[in-house]
Structure 1
Amino acid sequence: MKKTIKEDWKFEIKVIRDGGCRMGFEEGDTFSCMYECPSGFCPKTMSVLHSLCEAARSGGDYRLLGGSAKDTIDFTCADGVIKFRLHAIHLDD
């Protein structure tokens, strides 16, 4: 595989509240990715994560969606039992 686009965003995802999750996520679990799906992340919640990542890539501000900062937002999983914190990091050229 040969990637042709240089990614300029990195995303860090942390579990900040756990619950009865079939994936077994626990508070403190972390994931990171650029454009690809994070290894071991919930496939049901991936659509939510992808939408939030695209918002950052297009210059969005998470505060407009209820985030605590321009680059940080908390969101729940598709089943509503796990709470994640997403941090978007723009990589300098």
Structure 2
Amino acid sequence: MSEESVTETAASSSPGRPKQARKLGFFGRIALFIRQVVGELRKVVTPTRQELLTYTIVVLAFVAVVMVIVFALDFVFGLGVGWVFGGESADR
């Protein structure tokens, strides 16, 4: 199915459609949805091996940075809570 026919089908189901266009039933809407999904999947471009490696490294680096930030904030807030609410006393 061409992208043009999917676009035309999607355009015909828009709110401003002409009165002569028939309303799709339950199974017609499901079929339209499946056609639109297939049309979108045809546009997907698979990354090359180098791109995939680059994207993976970027994601892992970003996750590591966020982990360090969360750890630092948790540590600082933990110290602050310990200071405010007394933490360990010397009596023990």
More RCO (CA 8 Å, sep 6+): 1
TM-score (norm 2): 0.22
| Bigger strand fraction | 1
Q: Tell which structure's C-alpha radius of gyration is larger.
A: 2
Structure 1 or 2: larger helix share? 2
